[in-house]
Amino acid sequence: MKPNKMILSLVFVIAIAAAIPALAQGDTFSDPIVEYTFQLPEPMWKMNVKPSATSPNVEYVYGDRADGHFEIRKLSVPRDSIMTDIISAEEKRLQFRQGFVAGREESFAGKFRGTVFNFEYVAGGRPMVGRFYFLKTNDTTIYMLRFTGPKDGLRVIRSQTDSIARTFAVK
């Protein structure tokens, strides 16, 4: 190959390599009805519940609901509430799921600090997991980002769930 063609080929390969990450980026969620935004790391995340005047809840699926489900809930809590008590109350609601096994809690930091609660359960005979992010945005508000999906599938996209939680911001 001639030197000019080699340089041209190298430039082309570098340009393609630089464009791939830009094409792989997802979208930013923002809606005038809700007071938060977040980044979706890839276009596989599809909205299946849009916020409305009667319900501010947002829900996404990763390809198909069976592959991964994500929803956001806003919790109003007393000013002096302790995060472990809030997580314990959620765990009590979850314990009635078939095969429920509580997992460990992890500290989490993104735009907001919080705690991640992990658990396992069975749905339709399939092993499932949940990864709930409890993000404290002020003294009386906690946003719960609830991710659920097949045990192996949710582990594969864990970097994406962490990314969504890290980019979660209040307008």
CA-wise closest residue to 68 among 134, 135, 158: 158
Instruction: State the total domains in the chain.
Output: 1
Q: What is the predicted pLDDT for the residue at 66?
A: 85
Q: CA quadruple 119, 123, 128, 132: dihedral positive or negative?
A: negative
C-alpha distance from residue 56 to each of 5, 75, 124, 141 (Å) = 56, 12, 29, 15
CATH number for the domain spanning 60: value is 3.40.1000.10
Cβ contact 125:137 at 8 Å: no
Q: Do the beta carbons of residue 67 and residue 60 sit within 8 Å?
A: no
Q: Which of 32, 66, 70 is nearest to 52 (CA)?
A: 32
- Is the Cβ–Cβ distance between 160 and 25 less than 8 Å? no
Residue 20 is assigned to a structural domain of this protein: no
Could you tell me if residue 6 is inside a domain?
no
124 belongs to a structural domain? yes
The single residue listed with the structure tokens 């907001």 is 112
pLDDT the model gives residue 2: 61
Q: Which domain holds residue 129?
A: 26-170
For residue 40, being part of any structural domain is answered with yes
In tens digits, what is the pLDDT along the chain, a chain of 171 residues? 565 554 444 334 333 333 334 444 579 999 999 999 999 999 999 999 999 989 889 999 999 888 999 999 999 999 999 999 999 999 999 999 999 999 999 999 999 999 999 999 999 999 999 999 999 999 999 999 999 999 999 999 999 999 999 999 999
Q: Which two tokens stand for residue 149?
A: 């999906």
Q: What is the pLDDT of residue 5?
A: 52
